[in-house]
Amino acid sequence: MNIDQTRNILPENSKELFDDIVFQRVLGASKHINMIGEMIESIVLEGKRNDSTVDSIIDDILSVSQFFITTRGEASQAIANAINIMIKDVDNVRNLEIDEAIKTIIQMKNSFLTSSQEALNRVVDYGAKIAKSMKTIMVFDYSSTVDKFLKETKPESGKLSVIIPESRTIDGGHAFVKTCLDAGHKVKFIPDVAIMYFLKDCDGAFLGSETFFPDGTMFNTTGSDIVGLVCKELNVPLYVLTPLIKIDVRSVHGYKKGLVQNDLKDRLTSNWNHNEKEKVDFICPELLGVEAKYITAFITEKGIIPANQLFETSINYYNSLKGGN
């Protein structure tokens, strides 16, 4: 099902949520998961208003869910994992009366989102404790988990200096600026080519993660690999803040993650003439892997885990999800 067909399934009041995800107006896997949950509820409530059958409501939920699993889920396994949990028993409500079916579907979605929020809060709490003694940190690209971490971090020094590279491929850095200013942090915004120069004065660097493998490899916006390489060279600790829902265990069975490619023509060519733009290739990967050897630790709801010791925690968590299916 293509973008237009999927969008047309949605009630008018949730089409903006769909557009915000598809056209990258809102960033962050955790935010996208919550937004998809809102779409599921809107489909259910619209179906009740229109006297739709339970079967048609469920079919619409499955169509929208599959669209996001196929598109956003390819870049972020967290989204595929979360959607599968939210809808895992949805076929079992087909024989229920409409009111009971609606209640059950919304409860399933809310139950997951509540547990997800609790996990996120623990990640942020652990991260804030690590950063408490730091005076200067770098955060690269946008992550709603890192955004919440920045809101909650209260340094012992009284004021935290936050260096934010532009993350040019998706303008991910800019979204952190307001959060940091509102939190009272001192903000320095830099071009991402200046990462190495400014990292040498940082006490630590923090990234979010679109997804990660049990071996400690994490995937994040292009440029994250540079942060990892420079952190290792300069001996600056690099932390990945991520709930375990972002695990992708397929690598254990030989899966190789394909590159998601973006065309950056419009983003990079505001001062170019048309003839130049049409003769140049602007395709660039959206996400790249950062190996465990560049990462100090993953900050998860289960605690702060060294990157090279993540395997057992990851597999145990994944098995707990499978047991719920």
The CATH number of residue 137's host domain is 3.40.50.10470
pLDDT surpasses 60 at 324: no
Q: How confident is the model at residue 120 (pLDDT cuts 50, 70, 90)?
A: very high
Mean pLDDT of the chain: 92
Which one is predicted more confidently, 148 or 88? Answer: 148
H or E element in which residue 15 lies = helix 12-22
Record the pTM.
Answer: 0.80
Give the domain extent around 185.
Answer: 120-323
Model pLDDT for residues 162-183, shown as the tens digit of each residue: 999 998 887 888 889 999 999 9
Residues 33 and 125 both lie in one domain: no
Residues 196 and 271 both lie in one domain: yes
pLDDT at residue 88, as a whole number = 87
Measured distance CA(139)–CA(236) in Å, rounded: 13
Measured distance CA(288)–CA(259) in Å, rounded: 7
pLDDT surpasses 80 at 322: no
Percent of the chain with pLDDT over 90: 71
User: What are the Cα distances from residue 218, in Å, to 8, 9, 32, 145, 310?
Assistant: 35, 34, 19, 15, 11
Residues 177 and 287 both lie in one domain: yes
Residue where one domain finishes, among candidates 85, 117, 149? 117
Q: How confident is the model at residue 29 (pLDDT cuts 50, 70, 90)?
A: confident
Model pLDDT for residues 39-59, shown as the tens digit of each residue: 999 999 999 999 999 999 999
pLDDT surpasses 60 at 325: no
> Which ranges in 93-143 belong to alpha helices (H)?
98-131
* E-only strand ranges, 161-224: 161-165, 186-190, 204-207, 211-212, 218-221
Residues 142 and 281 both lie in one domain: yes
Identify the burial level of 63 via C-beta atoms within 10 angstroms of its C-beta, where 0-12 means exposed, 13-18 middle and 19 or more buried. middle
User: What are the Cα distances from residue 193, in Å, to 138, 199, 231, 306?
Assistant: 14, 11, 14, 28
Residues 104 and 143 both lie in one domain: no
pLDDT at residue 260, as a whole number = 75
Residues 140 and 193 both lie in one domain: yes
What is the domain count for the chain? 2
Q: Dump the DSSP string for 25-70.
A: SS--HHHHHHHHHHHHHHHHHHHHHTT--HHHHHHHHHHHHHHHHH
Measured distance CA(108)–CA(76) in Å, rounded: 22
The CATH number of residue 50's host domain is 1.20.120
Report the b/e string of 104-118 with b at 16+ CB within 10 A: bbeebbeebbeebee
